[in-house]
Amino acid sequence: MNPNTEFKTSASDFFSSLQDKICRGLEAIDGQTTFRQDLWQREGGGGGRTRVLEEGGVFEKAGVNFSVVHGELPEILAKQMATQLHAKLGKENVGVEAGRGFFATGVSLVLHPHNPYVPTVHANFRYFEQGELRWFGGGADITPYYGFHEDVSHFHRTLKAACDKHNASFYPKYKKWCDEYFYIKHRQQMRGAGGIFFDYLTENLEQTFAFVRDAGEAFLPAYLPIVERRKDLLYGERERDFQLIRRGRYVEFNLVYDRGTTFGLQTNGRTESILMSLPTLAKWVYDYQPEPNSPEAEAWEFYQPQNWA
């Protein structure tokens, strides 16, 4: 078997099974409803499996996607990706090596809870080929609405443990990358409280794949204990209102900066699956400023890089 073909198969098989595992865990903790599944085909090659849970006991909207797609990249996007690869790999001929043919497989999820004391969370793990180049990318990050330090610390420590199994340098490097990536430039504000983010990991692919598997398996242990701890806390209109304002910031990042959203839309991906990351409800208040010395003001200061682990 062609090594590339074997790698495509093993990566897609893992991401498919990870989607199943995560969905089972989320359905168990939600306790009220289950995921709706849509199977879809992509015009140009490949397809996927979108699962969405709405109006559950815990989650207002939860989406978990799995996809395997292939074909040719639009010329502009191929050049953009070649430029990014060049910056990461430092090879003069990377644009020639990259080309327009691509293969991508991965799992991605965004979870928006009802309760403002339960954080929104995002994760994505993927394998990509562009021409002769192959790499892994992904990560997970948390967006709390109110600042429970112990929750964010647990999330980061769990991801750090997965990183440390492979290399002690991974967590600090990928945490910094996450802090820099999930930054809303026009607001000069972090999207949330970070996590880990990595992309264009091209070296030692077998070892990298082992790391990606452990990072993916760490998602549920990183997040579910937080959900269990906060899902039954009482809240009122004030907390809900603040949650919707913060969700507005989340939407702004996803539509303006997120590379996954851009890639999906520019490669004729399934729009409903791409935009499943957006919450059912969000809010924009003109020149919003939290009331001084309020829990919301404290939360506003929470969204900055910190030594969580």
Work out the number of other CB atoms within 10 angstroms of the CB of residue 307: 8
Q: How many helices (H) and strands (E) does the chain have?
A: 11, 9
Number of structural domains, the chain? 1
Distance CA 239, CA 106 (A): 34
Residue 64 is assigned to a structural domain of this protein? yes
Query: Tokens at residue 186, please?
Result: 């026009």
Q: What percent of the chain has pLDDT over 90?
A: 72
Q: Is pLDDT at 40 greater than 60 in this prediction? A: yes
Scored b (16 or more CB within 10 A) or e, 178-206 reads bbebbbbeeeeebbbbbbbbbbbbeeebe
Residue 309 is assigned to a structural domain of this protein? no
Torsions phi, psi for 122 (to 5 deg): -135, 145
Torsions phi, psi for 123 (to 5 deg): -150, 150
Name the active-site residue from 112, 122, 154, 156: 122
Residue 308 is assigned to a structural domain of this protein? no
70 is catalytic: no
Query: Tokens at residue 9, please?
Result: 């198969």
Contact by Cβ (8 Å): 147, 298: yes
Distance CA 103, CA 131 (A): 9
- Whole-Å CA distances, 304 to 167, 232, 266: 25, 27, 31
Q: Each residue of 258-294: pLDDT tens digit? A: 887 887 787 767 888 888 889 999 999 999 999 999 9
Contact by Cβ (8 Å): 33, 55: yes
Q: State the residue range of the domain holding 173.
A: 3-302
Residue 88 is assigned to a structural domain of this protein? yes
3-class secondary-structure state, position 20: helix
Higher pLDDT, 93 or 164: 164
Work out the number of other CB atoms within 10 angstroms of the CB of residue 39: 8
Most confident of 84-93, 128-137, 271-280, 289-298: 289-298
Torsions phi, psi for 101 (to 5 deg): -70, 135
Residue 307 is assigned to a structural domain of this protein? no
CATH (domain of 17): 3.40.1500.10
